[in-house]
């Protein structure tokens, strides 16, 4: 797993590449927690180059989503594809997150005015 | 002799400790690459293994001293299927009998893992062998959808 991150003001775009599983999910958890702790109210997570995410990764996303909501912010996912998208569907996770088809749209949706 | 029925197989024994998840994933990934499984099929097996190992370590063997219990893994490639056994000595637990509705309601605390396993595999079989749970995950080679 590789986590690429860019920040502009209180907006963060996090690009998660590779595989998220039980072994590395805590790393993603920490990175997202830090962003929320640093006051990011808009977080976009781009999963366009993710091979897959096991339930350990989904737990991180759900936790981050709740933390961002506590700050009255927004977490938006984009780039869902392949096996990642299938797992979102199987687990019923699409209803639990705001999703966008492109990163630009996700940034627009995550912008808190 | 019919060459098509010759099986490739590999076994690995891990213990109930977090770093073992990565070792198990590397083992399964290497096997998949060695026998030429498509990436999509390999990914499905890796997700299923991660979920089953998590359940065994965090639920079945919860309370056990870390590193002291063994979990045996065996992967076999047949002409039509790839099968993966996960054998643990925790209390009897048959995940194939857990109701899906319960899993869906419980997904925040880990139920999603079993939903994933069922959806990604073509067949999931459970047998209790003496004092061990044996879960066999089966995936057909032809269609990965």
Label residues B50-79 b or e (16+ Cβ within 10 Å = b).
Answer: bbbbbbbbeebbeeeeeeebebebbbbbee
How large is the average pLDDT for residues A60-69? 94
How large is the average pLDDT for residues A95-106? 96
For a pLDDT cut of 70, what percent of chain A falls above it?
Answer: 100
pLDDT bracket for residue B2 (50, 70, 90):
very low
**CA distances, B128 to each of A67, B26, B131 (Å):** 42, 27, 7
Does A55 sit within 8 Å of B116, measured CB to CB?
A: yes
Whether the CB-CB separation of A108 and A76 falls below 8 Å is answered with: no
How large is the average pLDDT for residues A15-24? 97
Closest CB to B43 among A51, A58, A92: A51
- B4 pLDDT exceeds 60? no
Strands (E), B16-105: 70-77, 81-88
Secondary structure of residue A56 in the 3-state scheme? helix
pLDDT digits (tens, 9 = 90+) for A49-64: 999 999 999 999 999 9
Does A91 sit within 8 Å of B116, measured CB to CB?
A: yes
CA distance A28 to A14: 10
Provide the CB-side half-sphere exposure for B30 (13 A, CA).
Answer: 10
Angle between helix axes A82-91 and B111-120 (nearest 10 degrees) is 120
| All residues at 6 or more sequence positions from B91 whose CB lies less than 8 Å from its CB, including other chains | B60
pLDDT digits (tens, 9 = 90+) for B83-107: 999 999 999 999 998 876 555 555 5
Whether the CB-CB separation of A73 and A9 falls below 8 Å is answered with: no
Q: Which residues of B touch A (CB under 8 A)?
A: 18-19, 21-22, 25, 39-40, 43-44, 46-47, 50-51, 53-54, 104, 107-108, 110, 112-113, 115-116, 119-120
How large is the average pLDDT for residues B18-33? 96
CA distance A76 to A43: 6
Partner B contacted by A21 (CB < 8 A): yes
The pLDDT of residue B112 is 87
CA distance A12 to B60: 38
Secondary structure of residue B56 in the 3-state scheme? helix
Pick the CATH number of B3-140 from 1.20.58.760, 3.40.50.970, 3.30.565.10, 3.40.50.2000: 3.30.565.10
CA distance A76 to A58: 14
* Residues of chain A positioned with their CB less than 8 A from the CB of B103: none
Domains of chain A: 2-108 (3.30.750.24)
Angle between helix axes A82-91 and B39-55 (nearest 10 degrees) is 40
Reported ipTM: 0.94
């Amino acid at each position: 797993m590789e986590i690429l991150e860019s920040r502009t003001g209180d907006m963060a775009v996090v690009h998660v590449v590779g595989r998220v599983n039980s072994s590395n999910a805590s790393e993603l958890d920490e990175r997202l927690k830090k962003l929320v702790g640093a006051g990011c109210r808009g977080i976009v997570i781009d999963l366009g180059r993710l091979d897959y995410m096991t339930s350990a990764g989904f737990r991180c996303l759900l936790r981050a989503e709740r933390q961002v909501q506590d700050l009255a912010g927004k977490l938006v996912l984009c780039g869902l594809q392949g096996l990642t998208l299938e797992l979102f569907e199987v687990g019923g996770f699409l209803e639990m997150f705001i999703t966008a088809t492109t990163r630009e749209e996700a940034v627009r949706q995550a912008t808190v005015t | 002799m019919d060459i098509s029925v010759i099986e490739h197989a590999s076994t690995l024994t891990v213990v109930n400790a977090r770093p073992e998840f990565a070792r198990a994933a590397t083992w399964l990934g290497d096997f998949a690459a060695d026998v030429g499984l498509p990436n999509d099929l390999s990914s499905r097996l890796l997700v299923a293994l991660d979920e089953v190992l998590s359940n065994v370590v965090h639920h079945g063997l919860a309370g056990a001293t870390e590193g002291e219990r063994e979990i045996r893994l065996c992967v076999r490639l047949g002409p039509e299927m790839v099968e993966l056994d996960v054998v643990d000595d925790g209390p009897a637990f048959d995940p194939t009998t857990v109701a899906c509705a319960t899993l869906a309601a419980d997904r925040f605390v880990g139920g999603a893992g079993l939903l994933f396993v069922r959806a990604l595999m073509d067949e999931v079989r459970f047998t209790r062998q003496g004092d061990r749970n044996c879960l066999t995950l089966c995936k057909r080679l032809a269609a990965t959808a």
